[in-house]
Chain A
């Protein structure tokens, strides 16, 4: 659908997982993906669709992580992958050092470190907006719908037991959240149109996006 870039947020950002910080690069945020491209190495870059960006947060406590950054978690599609296996950015980099096509498909965390920390809030907000532009596709509901559990007070609990208030099926029929819908393939970075004057022509797309 919307192929052109939404906004280029910052220049010369760097990212890194648990491993060493990557070299400087440029962060691009399109309406569909977050993309980081190395400034120095044309072969190097990462991209993640907003569909698989399950969480993002501003990391400011330098006691816990030395650089203010955007912390993200990425849904890998590995069905029951354990969090403990998440620290694999470093591993992958070491194993595949000489390969152009590294496999980052199992990476579950990523930090984006802008050189200017004052734009963290702006990046955070743009990522929120982009998540809204990329809802999970409808359909294909299986067992992954959202559950709500309540911590009831004793009185409420009594009430529930007395009246049999919560019919499970009824409650859960209310709202289903899509399963792990992944785009079938990730297009190349042509969507960036980095040197294309049309890159600045995003207004129409933006208006389209406001429909959400």
Chain B
């Protein structure tokens, strides 16, 4: 549940979600659920020329299982807290 809790903290911030099919979408994180399904608003495709079909889309729902990377805003990362949280999660406590 670590990443679920962590991503919830990022709601309202801008993230870039890269899918396993290489499509990368930048948008405001609207919500995330326990399966790490992600809803983005005000979306734009990073490589618009390559993915013209996405131009008409301004919000989207992405299934967690197809996400390859989530790029976080630098100020959305508290290294110390994330560090502690990941250690706790790894210990299973």
Contact = CB atoms under 8 A, between A and B. Distances in A.
A57 B83 contact: no
B56 A146 contact: no
Contacts of B52: 64
Contacts of B51: 83
A149 B79 CA distance: 12
Interface in A124-179: 124, 127-128, 131-132, 135-136, 144, 146-153, 156, 159-160, 163, 165-167, 169-171, 173-175, 177-179
Interface stretch (A48-56, A96-104, A198-206): A48-56
Given A56-B60, A71-B57, A83-B22, A151 B74 contact: yes
B67 interface: yes
A15 interface: no
A39 interface: no
Interface in B68-93: 68-75, 77, 79, 83, 86-87, 89-90
Which of B4, B43, B52, B70: most chain A CB closer than 10 A?
Answer: B70
Q: Is the interface of B mostly helix, strand, loop or mixed?
A: mixed
B77 A174 contact: no
A73 interface: yes
A53 to B, nearest CB: 7
Q: Which 6 A-B pairs have the closest CB atoms?
A: A64-B56, A57-B60, A64-B55, A54-B66, A59-B56, A61-B56
Interface of A: 53-65, 71, 73, 75, 81, 83, 108-109, 124, 127-128, 131-132, 135-136, 144, 146-153, 156, 159-160, 163, 165-167, 169-171, 173-175, 177-181
Given A54-B19, A64-B55, A156-B79, 19 more contacts: A54-B66, A56-B61, A58-B58, A60-B58, A62-B56, A63-B56, A71-B56, A83-B23, A128-B61, A135-B35, A144-B20, A146-B3, A149-B69, A152-B77, A153-B74, A159-B79, A165-B83, A171-B86, A174-B86
